Structure 1
Amino acid sequence: MRRAASFLIPTAIITLYYLFWMGLLAMLLARYPAAREFFPVGGLGDLVGADTDSFEPVYSHVEETVLAPHGPFRLALASIGAAVLILPVSWVYFITSRTKEVDSSFVQTIVIMPIVVTGISMIVLNSLALAFSLAGIVAAVRFRFSLDQPSHAMYIFVAISIGLGAGIGALGVAMVISMAFVYAMLIIWKLQYGKIMSGPFFSLLTRRSRSEEDY
């Protein structure tokens, strides 16, 4: 009963959180249609409609928008969107953490990383030269971050994905990534998937009797 409540309450809060921001964005776009060019949405359409057989710029519309006078404002909105979408991911880390003490530096990293990646994505855009320059700078700095648990790598990848989505103007895709990861992690945590190898299904799947403890 207690575990069910600990699953339903956070899930309801996170769902209301997503609905609030989606409703707010929809209301702003409906009331101020001209402000759509300021919001980092619609960038995926340029990617889907691009010619994959050529080396022409893919995000031509996004690039023009970023280089426009209101480009910094669009970058600010994209960074805010990335921060909004990464917060539920950090909450899931708190909920599913097996220890009472969490790594504060890791949590701060996954919260800040999408904002940084958003800015990098808008700077690099489709410039191969800038991309290689960035790779060289990162290699020179020799950035290292040790992960205590393998699951921490998933949070890093999700943070990078959200930042990339916001950076290319596809905030809707970033939202789908955030929501899919959050709900998947909550469901896996609730079901304790992979932790308890019992029941007729696992016995049939692994051909292992219930009385057998080890293979």
Structure 2
Amino acid sequence: MNLQAILSSPVVRLMGYFLLLTTVIAFVAVTVPWFPDLLVPSAPGADPFPGASDAMGPSAAEIMTSVTRTALLGFLALLAALAFTVPVVWIYTVIMRQEGYERSFVRLLASLPIVVAGVVQVVRGDLALAFALAGIVAAVRFRTTVKDLQDAVFAFAAIAVGLATGTGNFTLAGAISTVFCLLAYALWRMNVGDVGPSLALSHGGVALAEALVPGESHKAVVIGNEDEVEPVHAEDLPELAHYVERLADYVRGDALRKKKKYNTLLLVYTESPEEAGEFVEPILDDHARRWVLVDEIHRNGSGLVALEYLLRLKKKVKVGKMIDHLACGEDALCRAAELKPIKGLRRRLT
């Protein structure tokens, strides 16, 4: 790995940013006498910035009015909220770049800690004011729905940073930002929770569609001569690994679309792939909004080829009529077919 690749690594950039931020904070703490008080936790109900006015000395307290002090400390809290939020927003865009993200949520993520820190500054341990603020928020009734749980986790992290900086605990805010960013990136890089291509079967003798799209509540529907469909066992998975991974790539790529994503897997078993394709594809044009031929699956123990299609069926389509048009049977061009929904697979892969 060359130097340029190392320097462009998100982890290196992340650690470089936090190192620079730590250096700046350490420099300010050494040069400004009262700033170190901002790096320790505040007691519950106490001034979020303890000792700031006393540490400045009597002469400074006489010169600085209460308005100036409030503005200065508030500005520091908001600036710290922004500084510790920058890596959270950046790591979010890195993680979600493949799946896609909304600009509005990125802007919300960047501004949320600043707003939270400002709210904490307004409340400042005043219980009555806190209840009044809660009542105002309840009256406004924010109804924004977070579509992805990962987005919700990032929003909570941003809120935590805002609360920490708003209460004057800059050390905790930095720890939250650092640990959360590194953890989120590590989980993403290691594909924790991802469905890999070599999936173990819960039991042997399942249909091919079950092996390609596991874990769905709806089982695969086999049409035509079921004896022609060779069952899949655990020892067959290495043979099918390439096909499973290729299907997963198609599903991940299709997930970038906002609408009309593929929702069904269709396998058509035949001895003549070219003729069967010419026969099946006009039927798909009539019953699906969009479709794609993913692969031709060849099994070692069967003389049949499975044409693998991903479909987006039309809303009012009658699946039974489409099945009748396929005319699957023992002596037909299409010996058998399998249908299986893929919505759950797309949700797990993305």
2:80 counterpart residue number: 81
Identity rate of aligned residues, in percent? 28
In the other structure, the counterpart of 1:17 is 17
RMSD over aligned Cα, in angstroms? Answer: 3.1
**Aligned AA (2:152):** A
Aligned: 1:72 with 2:59: no
Counterpart of 2:231 in structure 1 is: none
Report how far residue 101 of structure 1 moved.
3.9
Q: How many residues align?
A: 194
Q: Which structure is higher in RCO with an 8 Å CA cutoff and minimum separation 6?
A: 1
**CA shift digits 1:40-79 (9 cap, x unpaired):** 322x1x43xxxxxxxxx63246377599441211110111
SS in 2 for 1:144: coil
Partner residue in 1 for 2:108: 109
Opposite residue 85 of structure 1, the aligned amino acid is F
Provide TM-score, normalisation by structure 2: 0.49
Aligned match of 1:118? 117
Unaligned runs of 5+ in 2: 54-64, 216-350
Alignment deviations for residues 114-157 of structure 1 (CA, whole Å, 9 cap, x no partner): 00111111111211111111111111111221212111101110
Q: Cα offset for 1:34?
A: 1.7
**Cα contact 2:82–2:113 (8 A) shared by 1:** yes
Higher strand share: 2
Q: State the AA in 1 paired with 2:39.
A: V
The structure-2 alpha-carbon separation of the partners of 1:33 and 1:98, relative to structure 1 and needing over 3 Å to count, comes to closer
**Between structures 1 and 2, the one with greater helix share:** 1
- Higher Cα Rg: structure 1 or 2? 2
Q: Which amino acid in the other structure matches residue 135 of structure 2? A: G
Q: Distance in 1 between matches of 2:172 and 2:203?
A: 44
Query: Which letter does structure 2 place at the counterpart of 1:163?
Result: G
The letter for the 2-side match of 1:25 is I
Of the three residues 55, 59, 64, the one matched with 2:46 is 59
- Is the 8 Å Cα contact of residues 40 and 74 (structure 1) preserved in structure 2? no
**Is the Cα contact below 8 Å between 1:162 and 1:174 reproduced in 2?**
yes
Distance 1:172 1:61, change over 3 A: closer
Instruction: Decide whether the 8 Å contact of 2:14 with 2:87 is kept in 1.
Output: yes
> Contact 1:88 / 1:182 at 8 angstroms: preserved in 2?
yes
Mapping of residues 134-213 of structure 1, within 5 Å: 134-197=133-196, 213=211
Cα distance in structure 2, aligned partners of 1:64 and 1:169: 11
Shift of the 209–27 alpha-carbon distance from structure 1 to 2, 3 Å rule, reads farther
Return 5+ residue gaps in structure 1 as ranges: 48-56
